[in-house]
Structure 1
């Protein structure tokens, strides 16, 4: 059933990750928690609640979305996903530090000014 564009705009899309509780989320969570390792499909099936027959097609979809890498018979979380996670964590920490220690207006103004404006 179609929805209005207003309702579409109200949808809270917290990133482009898989829906929690799905096979994709289960596999991605497992691989992300073992980011320094690569696994076969059967190892992923044994370590998750995803059936063996669903692991392969789910991994293919995750690879097409750029979330996992595949070489030979091994699969791992994508370097891109790890980089995004690290950048998000860094941005969150930086934002939190500004909340606990507000920047003085003069300091903010110095950071906000364009260095090219200092030319005479």
Structure 2
């Protein structure tokens, strides 16, 4: 997604690296939209634009959390209650961002407590 040049010029490199949506979020959103199907890693990668070097790790971590299932070369949405909770959190976050705007990391950092100040 493109950004305006003012945002580009005024934001730190760290701020511009984070899109707000993780690779895991993209994979879960895709699988949740297709709960009656199973996909290969390459199909999930192509549908979500997750980099080839990252998709295996993302899927393995999601499987460890019970959010996806894996058989042979295929991956599908998990069956656990955790999936519903994860999707609910994702949708709630998206709705809050739509209504109130995304969090501004630089603004949070301005007000963050420095560990040295608390000692």
Aligned length: 67
For residues 68-83 of structure 1, the aligned pairs below 5 Å read 68-81=68-81
User: Larger relative CO (CA 8 A, sep 6+): 1 or 2?
Assistant: 2
Give me the TM-score of the superposition, normalised by structure 2: 0.51
SS at match of 1:46: helix
For residues 50-65 of structure 1, the aligned pairs below 5 Å read 50-65=50-65
- Number of the residue aligned with 1:29: 29
For residues 1-120 of structure 1, the aligned pairs below 5 Å read 21-81=21-81, 84=84
Consecutive unaligned residues of structure 1, counting only runs of 5 or more, are: 1-19, 89-120
RMSD: 2.0
2-side partners of 1:54 and 1:73: how far apart? 16
Post-superposition Cα deviations, 1:78-111, rounded to whole Å, max 9, x if no partner, equal: 01258736xx7xxxxxxxxxxxxxxxxxxxxxxx
Query: Which structure has the larger Rg over C-alpha atoms?
Result: 1
SS at match of 1:79: coil
SS at match of 2:80: helix
CA-CA distance at 1:41 after TM superposition: 0.3
Write out the 4+ residue segments of structure 1 that deviate beyond 2 Å after TM superposition: 81-85
Give me the TM-score of the superposition, normalised by structure 1: 0.51
